[in-house]
Amino acid sequence: MSDARIILDISGVTKRFAVGDDEVEALAPVDLTIPQGEFVCLIGASGCGKSTLLRIIAGFEEPTTGEASIFGKRITGPGSDRGMVFQDYALFPWMTVRENISFGLRQGRMPREAIEKTTDEFVRMVGLERFVGRYPNQLSGGMKQRVAIARVLANNATMLLMDEPFGALDALTREQLQYELLQIWSRTGVTAVFVTHSVEEAVLLADRVLVMSAGPGRIDSDFRIELARPRDVSSPEFNALRRDISRRLTSHLVPSQVPA
């Protein structure tokens, strides 16, 4: 793979937090490269550093040592080239669907016509044409996540960072949004880094699944998922991968920690 295609380069990144008089090492040295347009899932037990690593990529946290860079430029803070989608949606409750999606465009002082055209494009992309005048408290959880994804993409983000975005949704809504997310990713060519606790979700969505182990967090395994899309969760190939990743996910746990 040529360096020209690498969008994210993480080299020797560690993270330590002060907790009272003590210091906790959340991330051991992490080395990772992600090519442009790839869909990567980070998976691991709670406390393994998945969200910390994602926040470093987003620019919300600074690494203690090492460096993270986008297209060779060191990440020093948040930027419109990276958009974060959280489990709790993080929408502005006083803004309508249209106003939430167009927020970044309006901050960038784009011409009104361009703002309206771009906003309309992403409203259509996430299927919310009938709900543009509604406020977040008038939307379902799935609709709120569609708005959050559209708001990031409308800003022309090159990386979509997602921290367990479907974790609070019911199974049917989650399945629908997984399908829609893959459609959006395919159409836009955005690079996606997606944190999840679900092995099935990771295998369903990703080109690569990175398994993180805790104490301190490190990338333990890197699985390339070469199954054709759309993927059949009941197929033998899918379930073989799911078993392999699940084994790797629990291999570092003592027997009393392994789920029954």
Q: 31 CB contacts (<8 Å, ≥6 apart)?
A: 10, 11, 12, 13, 219
The reported pLDDT for the residue numbered 257 is: 52
Structure confidence at residue 23 as a pLDDT band (50, 70, 90): confident
Q: What are phi and psi of 85, to 5 degrees?
A: -120, 125
- Per-residue pLDDT at 256 exceeds 50: no
pLDDT digits (tens, 9 = 90+) for 28-66: 999 999 999 999 999 988 888 899 999 999 999 999 999
**CA gap 192, 38 in Å, rounded:** 6
Please state the φ and ψ torsions of residue 88, each to the nearest 5 degrees. Answer: -95, 15
pLDDT at 74 over 60: yes
pLDDT at 32: 96
User: Which of the four pLDDT bands, split at 50, 70 and 90, describes residue 252?
Assistant: low
Half-sphere exposure of residue 112: CA atoms within 13 angstroms, side-chain side? 0
> What are 154-210's pLDDT values in tens digits?
888 999 999 998 888 889 999 999 999 999 999 999 999 999 999 999 999 999 999
pLDDT in tens, 106-152: 887 778 899 999 999 999 999 999 999 999 999 999 999 999 999 99
Identify the pLDDT of residue 155: 87
The Cα–Cα gap between 195 and 197 comes to 7
